Structure 1
Amino acid sequence: MVDAVRARQLGIVHMLRSRSNVPARELADRFGVTERTIYRDITTLTAYGIPIQASPGKVGGYRLAPDTALDPLTVDSDHALRLYVLGFLDPPNTDSTAGDRARAAGISETVQEVMRRLAQRIHFDTADWYWRDEGSGHLPVLRTAMLTATALEATWRTKNGNQETALLKPYGVVWKAGEWHMVAARATAGPTRFRLNLVDRLQPTDLTFTYPEDFSIRDWWAAAMEDYGKGEERVELHVTPAARDEMLRLSLKSTSQVHEHGDGSLTIVLFVDRWEWLIPLVSSYGSDVTVTEPAPLRTAIADQLRRALAVYDTAALPGPAPPDGLPHDDSRLRSTHGRHPGA
């Protein structure tokens, strides 16, 4: 059933590409569904960024925005990602392919060839060299739940190592810094984000929900990223010219301050929720990035560097291994994920 829906939506996009205006009634007749179903299909496609415009009146209908037509010869990675999430591009090791769904819906050989080329030439690598993202296996279930507004029973690991289970309403999915994130809401709470590689189980239910019309996944995510890590703790860093360019590539918050000096160095002021997550980041720069304040952070970094030096100092006296000075949480990931996507 879901495959037929995706194939129909792909067919709608194809018809809109070949015509300047297609009435809803004609689309309904072409695919053997009601106009109400076509309205839902258009809503789904536009929600994923397909640029469909509606023209009112008796001779009205739908068309693709002329300034952003989906030309298969110039399709970019953003359009490809939308197609992937919608299910029109599948990994090569799956049984069901975009071509199978297209043929089932009677879509032309020309469009099938376009989709075959996309699937052959576009690859989504869901792992980076320094960690493995295990969350992409949840995408088929999550994708279906989002398109059908179906609630999911989810079990995930919390930061303290425990497991939590709850009924969630999936609002969207985001790819960032080598990981997939699900944006979902509990029954009586607002949306929050869940890293899919920490989700152990996503089970569809027979419950449906009403997707909030005023919700924008793009706007919500931007606000969430702005709030992430912000707080009242003031941290002042001195940056030498050698580290200047790289530090300026960090995703700074609206509350951050950057002061440039005549010798090319910088003073960066951050306001964070806790300074512990800065220890691995600042330590990795050695003498090129130093903490001016607060004093406890300076002490923590100095202790961290002493422990590191003790490990590498061959003249150190035998004794128990130095303790691990890094916080036992996601601090290292937070420091690497904080880098600007364009870095």
Structure 2
Amino acid sequence: MEPETKTQISEFHLLGFSEETELQPIIFGLFLSIYLITVFGNLLIILAISSDSHLHTPMYFFLSHLSFVDIFFTSTTIPKMLQSTQTQRKVITYEGCIIQVYFYLLFAGLDDFLLTVMAYDRYVAICHPLNYTVIMNPWVCGLLFLVSWMMSALFSLLHSLVMLQLSFCSDLEIHHFFCEITWLIQLACSDPFLNNVMVYFGSVIQGGFPLTGILYSYSKILCSICGISAQGKYKAFSTCASHLLVVSLFYCSALGVYLSSAAIHSSHASAIASVMNTVVTPMLNPFIYSLRNKDIKRALFRFFILKWKHL
């Protein structure tokens, strides 16, 4: 059978988690709840930081943008999955699939780069406290944020353009709840060599290098706090604990996605790992940062008290 060219493809079929009818309301309710918690939780973080002038610092500048990115990261996959579950029409157009791949990779890369920049911010704050305001000035913060956007946009665009060169056969069923790039490559009839090269290259640039930067920053922090008092160590650790926990969740879930797609060859295992990476981690981030951060809790308290007084 001759493979169809990419211009003949109209849609893909997203099979999701289960095709059993009785499970669809449960899946819909669960993911709708998680999505709403993720959106409102991250919006509260953004609201707290923007409403309190005491939080207009580099650390909270990057945190607010991380919350912004997490909202859109989740929004690239969950709304479409909810629509498919509700209507029982589990299809996505070819163009919609490519667009979803682009924005998924864009916001995943941004998450990665922002976590790296936040680790660098903590390194400067702890290892060079006297020069912190000079090193992490608004111009540098804006530049780091802009470079993160440019790098993520470039790699996601390259991935999408290379994906457009693939041709597909008649079997267009994706055993996932969104257009996951490795599943699309598996469905291709044409040679996916360039796509696989881009996946590995992107993994190194967007995963390996940022992780190396994070580990380097925290190794310098550990060396810096070895000679200080116990109280100083506790203070330094408390400022890094939330970020370390978020980094651990992000990379462990990303590793789970990679291992499940590369070694296990199980659609359910790959989908569950992707849920941890794209749904659960963005939902937990605002809880991690707000519950362990007195400044965030204080800012939210002040905001709602002031709003209540004006009613």
TM > 0.5 between the two?
no
Bigger helix share: 2
Higher-RCO chain (CA-CA 8 Å, sequence separation at least 6): 2
TM-score (norm 2): 0.29
* TM-score calculated relative to the size of structure 1: 0.27
Q: Select the structure of larger CA radius of gyration.
A: 1
Structure whose residues are more often strand by fraction:
1
